[in-house]
């Protein structure tokens, strides 16, 4: 690999390494499981002098994001870093909108963890999915290498003058954040070439040239402000592939808005997101050895959602499944399914929704094989979803567990 | 809503020197004309300082949430100091009157002629 050295890192380590390589100057992070090692590693880097940055100890995630926005806007501008997870991201909710509305291109690793209740420390995507309309770009990593690479790529996309949107780099809690993998870490000089020093290209805070940011905006202009953000997301669809190509030239690793794996001749396709994609690809290889033609589409960019590219890949495919790692309570299906279903031509194909891997439950090869089995059975009789069980890894006794009879 | 003055209350820039404006467009909820930040127009009561009783301790300056109070030297006043308030931004909250150890700040009606 070009301009890279091999290191053993877990997802948190890779995120901290990427923020260091991007030369962040201000860090305001509040520790939360499973993100804590990012906060800790960054503070160690600052103490050892390895990273020239100011570390602000904040009292909450609400403040962490507020500090990051203020720091990034100050003067000529610096990159500000924070990272969070689960309820921490939920507590940030209000300020996430400030970052995106004020077009401050903060890049933030999000370590995916379930939301309460029930209390859980473990992985699912509900935290990030709850923020899917907050005006942030969202990229989901499959491997630790992707955590590092997507973070560097995210800076360049977010800071592009046609985009100017903040970005979340989402990694699955524990499955990526705490799993150690070999990672090709780019050299600082190569990163500096790829990612030049940050300069505020839009709003800035300068007492000698004052501007009033985020003032009360009347109904006369609010819609237009939102429309500007919508245009930025449209622009991002075009900017992302260009930046990914730049990254490929510099470091030799190729990425796309979404990755199509053995889909060309597939009878059934499963759309995945995050670390489950690796397991799904493994199952595809195994099933193809048995002569069963299946494929995987991995969503890399969930915001913006690459609906046109997805439509191209799914062209002519009759059976498509979507595996969501969040419940999408009250909706007709999970959030990824809703997007995929809207991307395909109505009536042309059936898109089946699956929900699995909630609150840290492992999405095993067996679970994915079960999904492919169901999808392949649907191949010859479209529109009859008799075998489909959306909550594919739910126990048979779901309504009985922890049921307590009282006051007898 | 209180009526805002048509002209900016203060010229931007240090020492009121005009700024050389960079010709760039910026996007987002932002205003560069400061017509609407004259928070002094919200004032209903205003602090009236008795400069004879005042000892120039600066407690009002310390506690002012908007940072509009300065303690300047003034030889004509008994303590050699005078409390100066930026009326463009004083919202008349009354905190200065509450913290004054000499109780020499009184909140008076904004419209009252003194």
In a mutational test of the B interface, the residue from A211, A223, A225 whose CB has the highest number of chain B CBs within 10 Å is: A211
Contacts with A208 from chain B: Cβ below 8 Å: 12-14, 19
Contact between A303 and A137 under an 8 Å Cβ cutoff? The reply is: yes
What is the complex's ipTM, to 2 decimals?
0.71
Residues A65 and A158 in one domain: yes
Q: CB burial class (10 A; 0-12, 13-18, 19+) of residue A345?
A: exposed
Determine, yes or no, domain membership for A403: no
Q: How far apart are CA B36 and CA B1, in angstroms?
A: 11
Assess if residue A60 is contained within a domain: yes
CATH assignment of the domain containing A292: 3.40.50.920
| Contact predicate A357/A368, CB 8 Å | no
Residues A99 and A136 in one domain: yes
**CATH code for the domain in which residue A90 is found:** 3.40.50.970
In a domain, A397, yes or no: no
Residue A342: strand, helix, or coil: helix
The shortest C-alpha distance from A102 to chain B (Å) reads: 5
Same domain, A306 and A240: no
Quick one: A29 and A162 in the same domain? Answer: yes
The answer to whether residue A80 is domain-embedded is: yes
- Tell whether A209 lies on the interface with B, counting CB pairs under 8 A: yes
| Dist CA A375 CA B9 (whole Å) | 69
Given this model, what pLDDT does residue A382 score? 57
Question: What is the residue extent of each domain of chain B?
Answer: 39-109
pLDDT in the model for residue A20: 98
H-run or E-run covering A234: helix A219-251
- Rounded to whole angstroms, what are the CA distances from B88 to A162, A361, B33, B36, B98? 38, 60, 15, 11, 21
CA dist., res. B20 & res. B28, Å (int): 22
Residue A96 is assigned to a structural domain of this protein: yes
| Adjacent-strand bridge partners of A55 | A27
Domain that holds residue A304: 258-378
Cβ contacts (< 8 Å) between B26 and chain A: which residues? 202-203, 211
pLDDT tens sequence across B27-52: 888 887 766 667 888 899 999 999 88
Q: Is A332 left (phi over 0), alpha (psi -120 to 50) or beta?
A: alpha
Architecture in CATH of B39-109: 2-Layer Sandwich (3.30)
Q: Are residues A200 and A342 in the same domain?
A: no
Residue A189: Cβ-neighbour burial (10 angstroms; 0-12, 13-18, 19+): exposed
- Is A103–B31 a contact, with Cβ atoms under 8 angstroms apart? no
Rounded-to-integer distance, Cα A269 and Cα A319, Å: 7
Pairing of strands A212-213, B30-31: antiparallel
Task: State the pLDDT at residue A339.
Answer: 97
Per the domain annotation, does A228 fall within a domain?
yes
Q: Which of A234, A251, A268 is the last residue of a domain?
A: A251
Residue of B19, B21, B27 with shortest CB distance to A202: B27
Verify that A192 and A326 share a domain, yes or no.
Answer: no
pLDDT band for position B12 (50/70/90)? very low
Residues of B in Cβ contact (< 8 Å) with A207: 14
Q: Classify the phi-psi angles of A252: left when phi > 0, otherwise alpha if psi is within -120 to 50, otherwise beta.
A: left
Angle (deg, nearest 10), helices A276-289 and A365-378: 60
A170 to chain B nearest CA, in Å?
26
Which residue among A251, A266, A293 closes a domain?
A251
Task: State whether A47 and A97 are in the same domain.
Answer: yes
Tally the domains of chain A.
2
Within an 8 Å CB–CB cutoff, is residue A205 touching chain B?
no
Question: How many contacts, defined by CB atoms under 8 Å, are there between A and B?
Answer: 53
Answer whether residue A388 is part of any domain: no
Residue A354 burial by Cβ neighbours in a 10 Å radius (0-12, 13-18, 19+): buried
Find all residues with CB under 8 Å of A67, minimum gap 6, and list them.
Answer: A26, A28, A56, A58, A80, A82
Given this model, what pLDDT does residue A2 score?
78
Confirm or reject contact between A231 and chain B (CB < 8 A). Answer: no
Residue A283 and residue A174 share a domain: no
> Which residue among A211, A231, A251 closes a domain?
A251
Q: By C-alpha distance, which of A217, A320, A347 is closest to A266?
A: A320
Q: What is the pTM of this model?
A: 0.86
User: Is residue A130 located within the same domain as residue A201?
Assistant: yes
Q: Is the dihedral of CA B22, B23, B26, B30 positive or negative?
A: positive
| Residue of A203, A207, A208 lying closest to B30 (CB–CB) | A203
Distances (CA, A) of A181 to A2, A146, A184, A270: 19, 11, 10, 25
Question: In chain A, which residues have their Cβ closer than 8 Å to the Cβ of B14?
Answer: 207-208
Mark whether A264 and A226 lie in a shared domain. Answer: no
Spell out the per-residue pLDDT of chain A, length 408, in tens: 678 999 999 999 999 999 999 999 999 999 999 999 999 999 999 999 999 999 999 999 999 999 999 999 998 999 999 999 999 999 999 999 999 999 999 999 999 999 999 999 999 999 999 999 999 999 999 999 999 999 999 999 999 999 999 999 999 999 999 999 999 999 999 999 999 999 998 999 998 888 889 988 999 999 999 999 999 999 999 999 999 999 999 999 999 999 999 999 999 999 999 999 999 999 999 999 999 999 999 999 999 999 999 999 999 998 999 999 999 999 999 999 999 999 998 878 889 999 999 999 999 999 999 999 999 988 767 555 565 679 999 998 899 998 888 888
Query: Are B19 and A228 inside 8 Å of each other by CB?
Result: no
Q: Closest CB to B29: pick one of A102, A164, A210.
A: A102
Nearest C-alpha in B relative to A218:
B29
Task: Looking at the structure, tell me whether residues A173 and A315 fall in a common domain.
Answer: no
Distance between CA atoms of residues A236 and A195, nearest Å: 17
Beta-strand runs (E) in chain B = 30-31, 45-49, 69-73, 81-85, 105-109
Residue of chain A minimizing CA distance to B15 = A208
A406 inside domain: no
A4 backbone dihedrals φ, ψ, rounded to 5°: -135, 155
**Do A240 and A185 share a domain, yes or no?**
yes
β-strands A294-299, A212-213 pairing: unpaired
């Amino acid at each position: 690999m070009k301009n890279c050295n091999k290191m053993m890192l877990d997802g948190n380590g890779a995120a901290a390494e990427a923020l260091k390589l991007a030369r962040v100057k201000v860090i305001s992070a509040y520790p939360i499981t499973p993100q804590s090692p990012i906060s800790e590693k960054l503070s160690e880097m600052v103490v050892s002098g390895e990273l020239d940055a100011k570390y602000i100890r904040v009292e909450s995630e609400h403040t962490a994001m507020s500090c990051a926005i203020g720091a990034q806007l100050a003067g000529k501008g610096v990159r500000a870093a924070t990272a969070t997870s689960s309820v921490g991201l939920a507590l940030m909710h209000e300020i996430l909108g400030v970052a995106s509305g004020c077009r401050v291109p903060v890049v933030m690793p999000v370590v995916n963890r379930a939301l309460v209740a029930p209390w859980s420390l473990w992985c699912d995507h509900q935290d990030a999915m709850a923020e899917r309309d907050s005006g942030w770009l969202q990229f989901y990593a499959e491997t630790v290498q992707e955590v590092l690479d997507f973070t560097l790529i995210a800076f360049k996309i977010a800071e592009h003058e046609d985009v100017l949107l903040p970005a979340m780099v989402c990694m699955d809690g524990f499955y990526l954040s705490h799993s150690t993998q070999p990672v090709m870490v780019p050299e600082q000089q190569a990163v500096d070439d790829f990612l030049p020093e940050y300069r505020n290209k839009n709003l800035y805070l300068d007492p000698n040239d004052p501007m009033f940011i985020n003032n009360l905006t009347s109904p006369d202009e609010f819609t237009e402000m939102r429309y500007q953000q919508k245009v930025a997301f449209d622009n991002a669809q075009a900017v992302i592939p260009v930046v990914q190509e730049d990254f490929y030239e510099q470091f030799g690793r190729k990425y796309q808005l979404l990755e199509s794996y053995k889909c060309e001749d597939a009878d059934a396709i499963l759309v995945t997101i995050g670390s489950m994609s690796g397991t799904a690809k493994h199952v595809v290889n195994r099933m193809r050895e048995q002569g069963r033609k299946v494929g995987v589409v991995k969503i890399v960019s969930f915001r913006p959602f690459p609906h046109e590219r997805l439509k191209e890949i799914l062209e002519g495919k009759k059976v498509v499944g979507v595996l969501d790692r969040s419940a999408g309570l009250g909706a007709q299906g999970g959030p990824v399914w809703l997007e995929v279903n809207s991307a395909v031509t109505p009536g042309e194909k059936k898109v089946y929704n699956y929900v699995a891997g909630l609150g840290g439950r492992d999405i095993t090869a067996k679970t994915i094989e079960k999904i492919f089995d169901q999808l392949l059975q649907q191949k010859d009789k479209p529109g009859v979803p008799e075998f489909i069980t959306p909550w594919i890894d739910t126990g048979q006794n779901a309504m009985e567990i922890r049921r307590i009879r009282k006051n007898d | 809503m209180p009526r805002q003055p048509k002209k900016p209350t203060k010229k931007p820039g240090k020492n009121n020197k005009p700024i050389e404006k960079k010709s760039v467009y910026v996007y987002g909820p932002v205003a560069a004309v400061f017509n609407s930040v004259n928070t002094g127009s919200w004032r209903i009561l205003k602090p009236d300082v008795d400069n004879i009783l005042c000892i120039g301790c600066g407690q009002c300056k310390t506690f002012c949430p908007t940072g509009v109070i300065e303690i300047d030297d003034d030889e004509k006043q008994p303590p050699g100091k005078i409390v100066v308030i930026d009326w463009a931004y004083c919202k008349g909250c009354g905190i200065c009157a509450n913290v004054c150890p000499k109780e020499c700040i009184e909140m008076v009606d904004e419209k009252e002629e003194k």
